[in-house]
């Protein structure tokens, strides 16, 4: 296990370097400026279609089905939509929506708009299950060791690492149902667009119960 973790840590470092080095530098730079180089004002009207599900202010109109986008890094939104467009990430509804954004500038503006909205924020849960989720978030679990500690990558408060790093998304305050679905999709291999398979490795080390618990905690951040 230690060997596996060591190799994995190296992979993470390589991916981070590759990102900065140019493979996806535009994404990182776009996120780096928080609103990217898109124009949030122009993005407001360009994102009307998106607002139909993700809300005018980037807060989901149906928490059981749609994620929040408010205050997510522009570079991350940009990458995800591009992944849906290329087929690297798949969802019947969202892939169809992504295909309707044909201009790169429009996508930058839309991403900038949602990034500029008041950041998603949950209500802390005091439940027993959320407490065990908090432990997992901060310290990892038996199977993954500290490698599974979400906070190492997503930030202690779940709001990512810094404005110059769109590699690790904001997850704190995200809709619980969406968090559970993503973790299960990474675990089953339905979602495979994570750089260096970082999330697949983490999610495969979580039981369904742990997924539920950590999602309960993260949704409340």
Residues found near ligand HEC in the complex (CB under 6 A): 12, 47, 49-50, 52-54, 65-67, 69, 72, 77, 79-81, 91, 93-94, 97, 101, 110, 136, 148, 150, 152-154, 167-169, 171, 179, 181-183, 193-195, 198-199, 202, 214, 218
Q: 66 vs 130, which CB is nearer to ligand HEC?
A: 66
Six-digit token pair at 134? 């908090």
Q: How far is the CB of 7 from ligand HEC (least distance, A)?
A: 13
Q: How far is the CB of 72 from ligand HEC (least distance, A)?
A: 6
How many whole angstroms separate alpha carbon 201 and alpha carbon 194? 10
Q: 33 vs 200, which CB is nearer to ligand HEC?
A: 200
Q: How far is the CB of 126 from ligand HEC (least distance, A)?
A: 19
Q: How far is the CB of 207 from ligand HEC (least distance, A)?
A: 11
Q: 8 vs 33, which CB is nearer to ligand HEC?
A: 8
* Inter-residue contact 60 to 67 (CB < 8 Å): yes
N-terminal to C-terminal alpha carbon distance within the chain: 30
At a CB cut-off of 8 Å and minimum separation 6, what does 88 contact?
A: 82, 192, 193
How many whole angstroms separate alpha carbon 158 and alpha carbon 156? 6
* Inter-residue contact 75 to 32 (CB < 8 Å): yes
Q: 33 vs 145, which CB is nearer to ligand HEC?
A: 145
Q: How far is the CB of 183 from ligand HEC (least distance, A)?
A: 6
Q: The tokens 């930030």 sit on which residue?
A: 155
How many whole angstroms separate alpha carbon 149 and alpha carbon 138? 5
Provide the Cα torsion 90, 41, 166, 159; round to 10°. Answer: -100
Q: 11 vs 33, which CB is nearer to ligand HEC?
A: 11
């Amino acid at each position: 296990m230690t060997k596996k973790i060591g190799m994995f840590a190296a992979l993470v470092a390589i991916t981070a370097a590759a990102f900065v080095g140019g493979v996806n530098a535009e994404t990182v730079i776009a996120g780096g400026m928080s609103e990217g180089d898109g124009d949030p004002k122009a993005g407001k009207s360009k994102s009307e279609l998106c607002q139909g599900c993700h809300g005018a202010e980037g807060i989901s109109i149906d928490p059981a089905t749609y994620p929040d986008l408010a205050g997510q890094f522009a570079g991350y939104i940009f990458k995800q939509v591009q992944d849906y467009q290329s087929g690297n990430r798949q969802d019947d509804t969202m892939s169809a929506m992504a295909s309707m954004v044909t201009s790169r500038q429009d996508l930058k503006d839309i991403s900038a708009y949602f990034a500029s909205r008041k950041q998603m924020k949950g209500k802390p849960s005091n439940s027993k299950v959320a407490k065990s989720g908090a432990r997992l978030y901060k310290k990892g679990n038996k199977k993954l060791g500290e490698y599974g500690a979400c906070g190492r990558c997503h930030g202690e408060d779940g709001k990512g690492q810094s404005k110059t790093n769109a590699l690790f998304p904001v997850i704190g305050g995200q809709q619980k149902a969406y968090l559970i679905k993503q973790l299960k999709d990474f675990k089953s291999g339905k979602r495979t667009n994570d750089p260096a398979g970082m999330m697949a490795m983490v999610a495969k080390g979580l039981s369904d119960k742990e997924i539920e618990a950590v999602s309960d905690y993260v949704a409340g951040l």
